[in-house]
């Protein structure tokens, strides 16, 4: 079983978070094993098994059951790192050298897409699908 953590938290301005991955549907269609989506109520459901609003302890238990996981730059990659469960992180404008963990597979299309200032609000940047790696690239690492 694979966990997907598709979305990072919503921006205060209501716009799409530029750290989100744009090709989840295509990526999921390429995965040949059960997929469990985690997230919050109101987020787009991508698979049948969508577990909403799990507590930290419930997420830790779920991590023990999965083979691996795929997510964007959100709290979940940190939780999995603490739980010593490596996975794949799909990066766009935040810097994996700062916010990532070398134990994971960190897929960044190009450092040229990184936000010039990593420490201000993400609201300052527009969502741009061009910044993310394609699903075919992700699947090679799964």
Contact residues for another protein, defined by CB under 8 A:
9, 55-56, 74-79, 81-82, 97-101, 117-120
Q: Can you say how many angstroms the Cα of residue 102 is from the centroid of all Cα atoms in its chain? A: 15
Q: Minimum distance from CB of 124 to another protein (Å)?
A: 13
Residue 88 Cβ vs another protein, minimum distance, rounded to whole Å: 17
106, β-bridge pairs: 89
Helix/strand/coil percentages in the chain, nearest 5: 30, 15, 55
Greatest distance between any 2 Cα atoms in the chain: 38
Backbone φ, ψ for residue 35 (5° rounding): -125, 130
Nearer CB in complex with another protein: 27/89: 89
What is the smallest separation between the CB atom of 80 and another protein, expressed in angstroms? 9
Judged by beta carbon, residue 51 or residue 140, the one nearer another protein is 51
Q: How far is the CB of 55 from another protein (least distance, A)?
A: 7
Terminal CA-to-CA distance of the chain, rounded, Å? 12
The residue (of 56 and 65) whose beta carbon lies closer to another protein is 56
């Amino acid at each position: 079983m694979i966990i997907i953590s598709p979305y990072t938290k919503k921006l205060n301005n209501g716009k799409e978070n530029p750290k989100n991955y744009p090709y989840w549907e295509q990526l999921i269609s390429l995965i040949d094993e059960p997929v469990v989506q985690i997230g919050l109520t109101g987020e787009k459901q991508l698979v049948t098994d969508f577990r909403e609003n799990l507590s930290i302890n419930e997420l830790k238990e779920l991590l023990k059951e999965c083979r691996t996981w795929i997510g964007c730059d959100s709290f979940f990659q940190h939780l999995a790192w603490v739980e010593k469960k490596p996975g794949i992180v799909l990066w766009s404008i935040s810097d994996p050298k700062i916010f990532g963990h070398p134990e994971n597979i960190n897929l960044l299309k190009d450092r040229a897409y990184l936000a010039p200032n990593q420490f201000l609000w993400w609201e300052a940047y527009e969502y741009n699908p061009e910044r993310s790696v394609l699903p075919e690239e992700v699947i090679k690492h799964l």
